[in-house]
Structure 1
Amino acid sequence: MRQNVGTGSPWEGVVGYSRAVRVGDAVHVAGTTAIRDGRVVAPGDAYTQARVALEIVVEALAECGASPADVVRTRMYVTDIRDWEAVGRAHGEVFSDVRPASTMVQVSALIDPDLLVEIEAEAVVGSVTDEVTPP
């Protein structure tokens, strides 16, 4: 069974995407930026933008019956790799105990020039165990 989760954005129908999609136990959250109420949050502040994007990711996971503890993979896109530490710190605040496989890459631009970071996530519902094995 497939569950699509939308935001109500008019672009979803035009572009043909969903905020998140759950198929079976797998949840895929689309690239998420720090846009709330149609506005970019905290222009110039990569840390705050990452936190807001992660809040939106967590909201989408919840709509699909998942939690941050179910996340197995994240991808972070930054417009300036020098922001890696600020973005990484925000990511660590959400996922430090989960420690999903993760990638961060620099891209030339995002959809709005005020956006500094975009984050994707993949989760497997029920993948949570009592113990997280350290690497």
Structure 2
Amino acid sequence: MTERFAILSGSTFEEQIGYARAVVDGDRVHVSGTTGYDYATMTISDDVVEQAEQCLRNIGAALSEAGCSFADVVRVRYMLPDREDFEPCWPTLRRHFGEIRPAATMLVCGLADPRMRIEIEVDARRATPPELDSAVD
């Protein structure tokens, strides 16, 4: 049977809306759309680049808990209400994804809160745990 479990960040939104920060389903990791909220303080910066940095910190924490990293990301989706905000984020995004080159999509759309200026969603693939590799041999 495929391993499936949820990863929660502690965001009040997860409880209020009924979702998980990420879901691990076997070797696949699906990280929900993640905004620039600092979940420890439930605050969000006005600056889109700072929001992108916080999005990636939040995503990195979920990936780590799932047993993988940004190097395992195969798909990324960027959602922004204002297309002009995307280019200032490119250096931040390139730092995390430039070497691994996941498939990517950028969408211009409304977000749940007008303070949110970027939302990022990723899918990753976990490596097979070493104990399972030896069982397959």
TM-score by length of 2: 0.85
Runs of 4+ in 1 over 6 A off after TM superposition: none
Q: Is the 8 A contact 1:6 1:20 kept in 2?
A: yes
TM-score by length of 1: 0.86
Partner of residue 127, structure 2: 126
Q: Which runs of 5+ in 1 are unaligned?
A: 128-135
Task: Compute the displacement of 1:90 (Å).
Answer: 1.5
Q: Give the Cα separation in 1 of the matches to 2:84 and 2:12.
A: 33
Q: Which runs of 5+ in 2 are unaligned?
A: 129-137
SS state of the match for residue 106, structure 2?
strand
Q: Give the Cα separation in 2 of the matches to 1:84 and 1:14.
A: 29
SS state of the match for residue 13, structure 2?
helix
Structure number with higher helix proportion: 2
Task: Compute the displacement of 1:115 (Å).
Answer: 1.1
Q: Give the Cα separation in 2 of the matches to 1:99 and 1:62.
A: 19
The one of 63, 81, 100 aligned to 1:79: 81
Larger radius of gyration: 2
Q: Which one-letter code corresponds to 2:111 in the other structure?
A: L
Deviations 1:32-64 (A, max 9, x none): 011112111x21x21111111011101100000
**Percent of paired sites with the same residue:** 39
**Matched positions, count:** 124
Partner of residue 39, structure 1: 43
SS state of the match for residue 67, structure 2?
coil
Query: Which runs of structure 2 are paired with 1:18-57 in the superposition (5 Å)?
Result: 18-36=20-38, 37-40=41-44, 42-43=45-46, 45-57=47-59
